[in-house]
């Protein structure tokens, strides 16, 4: 009978548990290499990603901006209230404007508005985020060096 090992990423990382921490770690490292201290990202009113970005950003001395889709007059959700408490600047935009978040021209406008800054895509899913997640494989190799199936 074989052994089964379980690595619980949701139990570490403080306020940015699981893959959120690793995606952000890659992006924070990239920002530090570029000498940028402001991170701008996108999400909804209940965004775990923006919540984590605000927490980790505050912890590591980064200014953060969250561009939130939806009603500009909506009350803050618990996630957004936490993000504000950690110093995140909240910018609410219409759903129409939010849909432009992947357009190069719109991203250039955002980049200019908050310069100097680094844009982090919604969810932190970019090359830097993937690079940060590579550390998960290192954890598996460290904690289960004999693992044959992952």
Q: Which has more confidence, 128 or 144?
A: 128
Query: What percent of the chain stands above pLDDT 70?
Result: 89
Q: What is the pLDDT of residue 150?
A: 66
Burial of residue 137 (number of CB atoms within 10 Å: 0-12, 13-18, 19+): exposed
pLDDT digits (tens, 9 = 90+) for 55-113: 999 999 999 999 999 877 789 999 999 999 999 999 999 999 999 999 999 999 999 99
Strand partners, 63: 38
pLDDT digits (tens, 9 = 90+) for 49-59: 999 999 999 99
Please give the structure tokens belonging to residue 47.
């965004």
Locate the domains of the chain by residue range: 16-143
53 vs 39: CA distance, rounded Å? 8
Q: What is the pLDDT of residue 137?
A: 78
Main-chain phi, psi angles of 127, to 5 degrees? -60, -45
pLDDT digits (tens, 9 = 90+) for 7-40: 666 666 566 767 788 888 888 999 999 999 999 9
Entry pTM: 0.86
Q: What is the pLDDT of residue 13?
A: 56
Measuring CA to CA, how many Å separate 115 from each of 24, 54, 80, 111?
20, 18, 23, 6
Please, which pLDDT band fits residue 2 given cuts at 50, 70 and 90? low
Strand partners, 119: 40
Q: The CATH number of 16-143 is which of 3.40.50.1100, 1.10.10.10, 3.20.80.10, 3.40.50.1970?
A: 3.40.50.1100
Mean pLDDT of 100-129: 93
**Does 146 score more than 80 pLDDT?**
no
């Amino acid at each position: 009978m074989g052994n089964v090992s379980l690595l619980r990423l949701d139990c570490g990382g403080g306020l940015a548990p699981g893959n959120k921490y690793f995606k952000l770690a890659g992006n924070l490292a990239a920002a530090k290499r570029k000498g940028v201290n402001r991170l701008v990202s996108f999400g909804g009113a209940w965004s775990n990603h923006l919540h984590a970005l605000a927490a980790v950003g505050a912890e590591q001395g980064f200014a953060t901006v969250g561009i939130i889709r939806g009603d500009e007059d909506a009350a803050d959700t618990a996630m957004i209230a936490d993000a504000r408490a950690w110093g995140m600047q909240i910018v609410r935009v219409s759903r129409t404007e939010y849909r432009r978040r992947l357009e190069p021209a719109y991203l250039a406008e955002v980049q200019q508005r908050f310069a100097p800054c680094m844009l982090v895509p919604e969810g932190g899913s970019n090359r830097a985020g993937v690079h940060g997640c590579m550390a998960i494989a290192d954890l598996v190799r460290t904690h289960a060096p004999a693992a044959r199936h992952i």
